[in-house]
Amino acid sequence: MGKISALRGTRDILPEEVSYWQEVETVAKEILTKAAYTEIRAPIFEQTALFERGIGEATDVVSKEMYTFRDRGDRSCTLRPEGTAGVVRAFIEHGLHNQGIQRLWYAGPMFRYERPQAGRQRQFHQIGLELIGSPSPVADVETIALATDILETLGLKHLSLQLNSVGNTEDRQRYRNALVEYLTPYKDKLDADSQDRLTRNPLRILDSKDEQTQAILQAAPRLIDHLGDESRKHFEQVQTQLTDLGIDYTLNSNLVRGLDYYTHTAFEIQSADLGAQATVCGGGRYDGLIAELGGNETPAMGWAIGMERLILLLKELKAVPDPELDFYVVSRGDRAPAKALTIAQTLRHQGWRVELDLSGSQLKKQFKRADRNGAIACLILGDTEVEEGTINLKWMATQEQTVINQQELLANNEELRQQILQAKNRN
């Protein structure tokens, strides 16, 4: 029987890489918690109608990329392709609008049937934020500032904030008409996807990667020139407040994002170190989505950070060290392994990081593993030590070895703690 491999577009995150993921999650949680955002955890699969209505049936996500299936109750279900729709559904279903402005964040896997490439998988992961209930430009800028804080705290370089306004429904309809009128004479010269989008979702043509299509778009009408007074004022205030915070940005009139629910501010934070797939974080305002999904008219703003692309950058930027191992416990004999476990557990309860060798191999091989795993000290236990109530303590850096009383070791004595700290500092 042949071996079973991971499905194309999915990948295993092995232990040596997990440290990067944990660092990102820790930094994001700390920064968002300080800004009074609380975590929400929505289901991984939802009714298909949630995404069809929320994201838009004309989008590539809904029409081409969703993992949709019928369950045993003959209900159409879909693995979530993004996080916002599920959070909004939870907001409506649980009456969170009665609890004032909601600052929420989430993390987890999303699913889209796309062509896999570096930083893009069919199962991918996001950390996202939703600020629900405020129409103020200040809300837009707060969320962008928090995304910037997370990426900069992680040490990312060569980042650029791309900014646009997609206006309100009326603004976009005016612009849609102008764009279609401009592009129709060029229809045969557009790439195949853009020809299809010309009638279904013309704003998505702006995001085309085809060189000839982009050349045609150079003289196309700009969305920003079709904004009404209210939308223009909102966007000007966003720009002013970003400047006040010292956050640089570039206006990008072709930035529309890939989901139909966006209104007003749309943005991406891109990295010059990622090549064609440059976006690390993207989002915007979605003032009409909650009403579209059956709730009250409620303004909202959010974003998502793509974890896979972010991890690619972090790997290039720095090595994340494994947590230091305080003790490696080796044992040899009939009674020693069981006693070694008791000692290891006691030390763990005291806060030490302890690995217990379970191989039963010769002591020399156990010492090699202790050194390879980065232990500060090795605790050595045989049947004789069990009888005498002693244990051998071996400092790995100097190979110095002493015999101490087990009770003295387990008393969590301050002298031993200071010796471990000094050894870590020397390393």
Average model confidence (pLDDT) across the chain? 90
Alpha helices in 281-413 (DSSP H): 289-292, 307-317, 336-349, 363-372, 383-388, 406-410
Q: Is the pLDDT confidence value at 74 over 80?
A: yes
**The dihedral sign for the CA sequence 56, 57, 60, 61:** positive
With contact defined as beta carbons under 8 Å apart, do 95 and 290 qualify?
no
Mapped onto helix, strand or coil, the DSSP state of residue 177 is helix
Q: Which of 55, 388, 420, 370 is nearest to 379 (CA)?
A: 370
> What mean pLDDT do residues 59-88 have?
93
Q: Is the pLDDT confidence value at 382 over 80?
A: yes
Q: What is the pLDDT of residue 28?
A: 97
Cβ-in-10-Å burial (0-12, 13-18, 19+) of 176 comes to middle
Q: Which of 205, 238, 199 is nearest to 223 (CA)?
A: 205
With contact defined as beta carbons under 8 Å apart, do 306 and 119 qualify?
yes
Q: Largest alpha-carbon pair distance within the chain?
A: 93
Give CA separation, 276 vs 118, 254, 364, in Å. 10, 16, 51
Q: Is the pLDDT confidence value at 68 over 80?
A: yes
Burial call 132-170: b when 16+ CB within 10 Å, e when fewer: bbbebbebbbbbbbbbbbbbeebebeebebbbbbbbbee
> Greater confidence, 415 or 365?
365
Alpha helices in 163-267 (DSSP H): 169-183, 192-200, 211-217, 229-244
DSSP 95: T
Q: Which residue has the tokens 């990948």?
A: 11
Distance CA 116, CA 299 (A): 34
Q: Is the pLDDT confidence value at 8 over 80?
A: yes
> What mean pLDDT do residues 126-154 have?
97
Locate CATH 3.40.50.800 in the chain: 325-426
Token output for 297: 């008219």
Distance CA 376, CA 398 (A): 10
> What mean pLDDT do residues 76-102 have?
95
> What mean pLDDT do residues 158-163 have?
93
Q: What is the pLDDT of residue 427?
A: 59
**Among 111-120, 257-266, 303-312, which stretch is predicted with the lowest mean pLDDT?**
257-266
Distance CA 147, CA 151 (A): 6
337: number of Cβ within 10 Å: 19
Q: Which of 231, 267, 224 is nearest to 249 (CA)?
A: 267
Q: What is the pLDDT of residues 91-123, one digit of tens each?
A: 999 999 899 999 999 999 999 998 888 778 999
Q: What is the pLDDT of residue 268?
A: 95
Report pTM.
Answer: 0.87
**Among 146-155, 311-320, 385-394, 416-425, which stretch is predicted with the lowest mean pLDDT?**
416-425
CATH number of 325-426: 3.40.50.800
Q: May I ask the CATH class of domain 15-168+228-317?
A: alpha beta
**Among 61-75, 248-262, 277-291, 412-426, which stretch is predicted with the lowest mean pLDDT?**
412-426
Locate CATH 3.30.930.10 in the chain: 15-168+228-317
Q: What is the pLDDT of residues 334-355, one digit of tens each?
A: 999 999 999 999 999 988 999 9
> What mean pLDDT do residues 361-377 have?
90
> What mean pLDDT do residues 294-307 have?
96
| Residues comprising the chain, all counted | 427
User: What percent of the chain has a predicted confidence (pLDDT) above 70?
Assistant: 96
